[in-house]
């Protein structure tokens, strides 16, 4: 790898969040497993700034993670042990709430360091491997690069990274309302691995049903911008995928309260609702910004005083934005 282009440039990376609708399969190490479908959300975002410095420094939310990702990047490319730069995390959502923040932050660090060294961005698989991400799901990695709705096939035993199946534009008018309880977190790290180790393997017929839902209902509805059909398909897919985790979650969603919220949203006439990854973030799909604002107002009345943050966002069809500019006085 080349040396940094010079000491007078600043790299900024702004990356969307990831909503994961569910996995196709797990528990079958002898064949293709994991895979799945999800979409990128324009908000909230991971934003970082890499600037010249005499020594390597990190600051902001998740600064310790940034240092770890940078260390992995150094090892992956065989760089000198010290990188003379400062990486500031300007903004980041909460970790471990189902938005794929760890992956987006890791990829943002990798992309920023690539740009700082004057290199073209590598393929998604290399970008993820350089910071140790994408070991199971690759939705967030492909979404970081391409944006949109991502379908990835799952990783075969002889593959180090899951192949991309397809990428789709989400209509610009559609909105996602993220429902985020202020307390609680999804599984991660060793706890997540232990959960996968303890869960029963997904039966082949369930994987077939999930694949059929995506291929024959969800994607055709998206391609034709049929909002109602797409919403119902996302709900069916997410519920079926979630049931594969019932032994850990207690049902298709992570806990009794999230199940109640899903039922409440459905009772309010919103068909497309689901849990992103392990949760606790839920998402509801609305056909327009006005419909989303109306839904938020009605839901706040339905759950008065409950500590739930509600974020209204479009899908992100662009992926991460990476900009390189001269430093002041550079």
Q: Do residues 1 and 117 touch, judged by C-beta distance below 8 A?
A: yes
Q: Which two tokens stand for residue 164?
A: 């991309």
Q: Please tell me the distance from the alpha carbon of residue 40 to that of residue 318, in angstroms, as a whole number.
A: 9
Q: Which two tokens stand for residue 177?
A: 């309302």
Q: Do residues 62 and 89 touch, judged by C-beta distance below 8 A?
A: yes
**Across 105-174, where does the E strand assignment appear?**
149-152, 164-168
- Express each pLDDT in 18-36 by its tens digit: 999 999 999 998 999 999 9
Domains and CATH numbers, the chain: 9-326 (3.30.230.120)
Full 3-state SS string of 47-93 = EEEEEECCCCEEECCCHHHHHHHHHHHHHHHCCCCCCCEEEEEEECC
pLDDT band (50, 70, 90) for residue 330: low
Which of 185-189, 212-216, 225-229, 285-289 bottoms out in mean pLDDT, i.e. has the lowest? 185-189
Q: Please tell me the distance from the alpha carbon of residue 137 to that of residue 87, in angstroms, as a whole number.
A: 26
The closest of 123, 117, 62, 45 to 84, measured between CA atoms, is 117
The label of the residue with tokens 């009605």 reads 298
Examine the pLDDT at 4 and tell me if it is beyond 70. Answer: no
The closest of 249, 309, 313 to 281, measured between CA atoms, is 309
Peptide bond into 280 cis (omega under 30): yes
| Beta-carbon count within 10 A of 274 CB | 28
pLDDT band (50, 70, 90) for residue 306: confident
Q: Which two tokens stand for residue 26?
A: 């797990």
195 compared with 285, residue with greater pLDDT: 285
Q: What is the structure's pLDDT at 7?
A: 56
- Express each pLDDT in 105-153 by its tens digit: 999 999 999 999 888 999 999 999 999 998 889 999 999 999 999 999 9
pTM: 0.94
The closest of 169, 174, 179, 137 to 36, measured between CA atoms, is 137
């Amino acid at each position: 790898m080349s040396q940094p282009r010079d000491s007078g440039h600043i790299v900024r990376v702004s990356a969307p969040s990831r909503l994961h609708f569910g996995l196709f399969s797990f528990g079958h190490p002898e064949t293709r497993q994991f895979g799945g479908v999800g979409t990128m959300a324009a908000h909230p975002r991971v934003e970082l700034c890499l600037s010249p410095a005499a020594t390597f420094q990190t600051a902001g939310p998740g600064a310790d993670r940034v240092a770890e990702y940078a260390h992995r990047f150094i090892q992956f490319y065989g760089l000198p042990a010290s990188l003379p730069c400062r990486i500031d995390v300007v903004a980041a959502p909460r970790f471990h709430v189902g938005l794929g923040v760890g992956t987006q932050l890791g990829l943002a660090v990798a992309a920023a360091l690539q740009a700082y060294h004057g290199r073209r961005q590598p393929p998604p698989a290399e970008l993820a491997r350089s910071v140790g991400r994408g070991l199971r799901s690759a939705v967030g990695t492909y979404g970081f690069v391409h944006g949109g709705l991502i379908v990835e096939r799952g990783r075969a035993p002889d593959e180090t990274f899951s192949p991309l199946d397809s990428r789709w534009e989400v209509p610009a008018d559609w909105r996602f309302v993220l429902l985020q309880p202020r307390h609680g977190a999804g599984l991660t790290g060793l706890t997540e691995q232990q959960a996968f180790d303890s869960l029963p393997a997904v039966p082949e017929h369930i994987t077939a049903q999930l694949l059929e839902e995506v291929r024959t209902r969800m994607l055709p509805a998206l391609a034709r911008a049929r909002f109602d059909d797409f919403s119902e398909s996302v709900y069916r897919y997410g519920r079926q995928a979630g049931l594969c985790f019932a032994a850990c979650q207690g049902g298709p969603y992570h806990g009794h309260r999230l199940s109640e919220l899903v039922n409440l949203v459905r009772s309010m006439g919103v068909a497309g609702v689901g849990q992103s990854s392990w949760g606790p973030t839920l998402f509801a799909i609305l056909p327009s910004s006005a419909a989303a604002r109306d839904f938020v107002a009605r839901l706040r009345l339905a759950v008065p005083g409950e500590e739930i943050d509600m974020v209204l966002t479009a899908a992100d069809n662009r992926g991460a934005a990476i900009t390189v500019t001269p430093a002041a006085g550079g």
